[in-house]
Amino acid sequence: MRLATTIALVLATVLGAIPGDAQTPAALAISNGGYQNSPVLRAMRRALRDFASQARGPEMAGVYFAGHGIEIAGKNWLIPVDAKLKMDIAAKREATAPLSAFEEQALKPKDSFKECAQCPEMVVVPAGSFTMGSPDSEEGRIEEEGPQHRVTFGKAFGVGRFAVTFEEWDACVADGGCNGYKPSDEGWGRGRRPAINVSWDDARAYVGWLSRKTGRTYRLLTEAEREYVTRAGTTTPFWWGASISTQQANYNGNYTYGTEAKGVSRRQTVPVDSFQPNPWGLYQVHGNVWEWTEDCWHDNYSGAPSDGSAWTSGGCSDRVIRGGAWYFYPGLLRAAFRLWNSSDSRDNVVGFRLGRTLTP
């Protein structure tokens, strides 16, 4: 039984016991005193019973509760006005149900949410603008990274804190989704390692399953979104600066970029929560696995959308991948670097990360 419903029954029971021939007014105010973060029903019942015994004789008796009514995961709750909540409900939400319209509209940049027990954790990224592509002076630049152009996102959106993992993919298969396909993990392990050997078509099957399961709009990131969330407000080749080491990302450490020395070559993927997250709280936006995007491949940005939407005109048998991977040179992990792969290819260097459209 919901807390608010129980309180209403208690009030009705107690007030019904007050005699109708009372002569003088009386009132009881209930706030946070003695109830900690929310009213404890046993304590409330005691207070109401004491009040009822004292109110025999008043002409009118009323009960006032000083608090707020809030909705969490579709349920209504009463919270005292002076309650000291131990966490920001939106920012720390760990509910396993789809966001309500109220909860979704209350989200702020860097807030996170999950909409089912096996759903990927999503992070809210802010609306804003950035310069997409690389300058001519950037080490390792290729012509496909230009021309640089301004892209503006009119509203916030959700992005996976991590690449989709094997445990998340396997949950889809167990639930009858993802066409029953169980990709190989190459003997490296499943669990929290990124799902690999999944094609663009496979990734879309996962997106479709998750959207149906939650009733919300999940999708692949657009290419512009992928670079925007990688940079997280920075303009350097990597979100942390102009050099890279194997202590910061998973790539072929036999090669160098910038001023760093050679490092280790792990020769396989690592768990998705390895290394430090970027300023927006996203992990491994550089390295580990390439990530599919929604966009069709174009040789350069001439004619590219300026609103961050997916560029899906032209031939779409090849789709854009971003981020670099464990097998590749560090220069290919740069925020601006772009590559393509056939939409039906399944490779052990390619995975994907989710996007989530949010209601403004």
Q: Do 140 and 69 reside in the same domain of the chain?
A: no
Q: Do 189 and 69 reside in the same domain of the chain?
A: no
Q: What is the rounded (10 degree) CA torsion for 18, 24, 30, 31?
A: 170
Report pLDDT for 315: 82
Report pLDDT for 201: 98
Cα→Cα distances 171→55, 73, 189, 215, 252, Å:
58, 22, 16, 17, 31
Mean pLDDT of 101-112: 95
Q: Do 191 and 338 reside in the same domain of the chain?
A: yes
Question: What 8-state DSSP symbol labels residue 285?
Answer: S
Last residue within a domain, chosen from 21, 45, 80: 80
Range ranked top by mean pLDDT from 37-51, 53-67, 76-90, 103-117: 103-117
Q: Do 343 and 249 reside in the same domain of the chain?
A: yes
- Cα 137 to its chain centre, rounded Å, is 34
> How large a percentage of the chain has pLDDT more than 70?
73
Last residue within a domain, chosen from 29, 51, 80: 80
The predicted-structure confidence for 132-142, as pLDDT tens digits, reads as follows 999 999 999 99
Last residue within a domain, chosen from 26, 46, 80: 80
Report pLDDT for 36: 44
Q: Do 247 and 159 reside in the same domain of the chain?
A: yes
CATH number at residue 330: 3.90.1580.10
Q: Is residue 28 part of a domain?
A: yes
Q: Is residue 211 part of a domain?
A: yes
Q: Is residue 91 part of a domain?
A: no
Q: Is residue 154 part of a domain?
A: yes
- Residues contacting 10, CB < 8 A, separation 6+: 41, 44, 45, 48
Whole domain around residue 8: which residue ranges? 3-80
Q: Do 187 and 263 reside in the same domain of the chain?
A: yes
Question: Hey, is 230 helix, strand or coil?
Answer: helix
Q: Is residue 27 part of a domain?
A: yes
Q: Is residue 60 part of a domain?
A: yes
Q: Do 209 and 341 reside in the same domain of the chain?
A: yes
Query: Checking phi first, is residue 232 left (phi over 0); if not, alpha (psi -120 to 50) or beta?
Result: left
Q: Do 170 and 264 reside in the same domain of the chain?
A: yes
Q: Is residue 96 part of a domain?
A: no
The number of folded domains in the chain is: 2
* Cβ contact 298:304 at 8 Å: yes
Q: Do 31 and 144 reside in the same domain of the chain?
A: no
The pTM for the full model equals: 0.76
Of 58-62, 78-82, 83-87, 299-303, give the lowest mean pLDDT range: 83-87
Q: Do 255 and 118 reside in the same domain of the chain?
A: yes
Report pLDDT for 15: 41
Q: Do 68 and 120 reside in the same domain of the chain?
A: no
Q: Is residue 85 part of a domain?
A: no
Mean pLDDT of 263-280: 98
**96 pLDDT higher than 80:** no
What's the token pair of residue 11?
């009030």
Q: What is the mean pLDDT of the chain?
A: 85
Q: Do 18 and 66 reside in the same domain of the chain?
A: yes
- Nearest alpha carbon to residue 223 among 347, 339, 360: 339
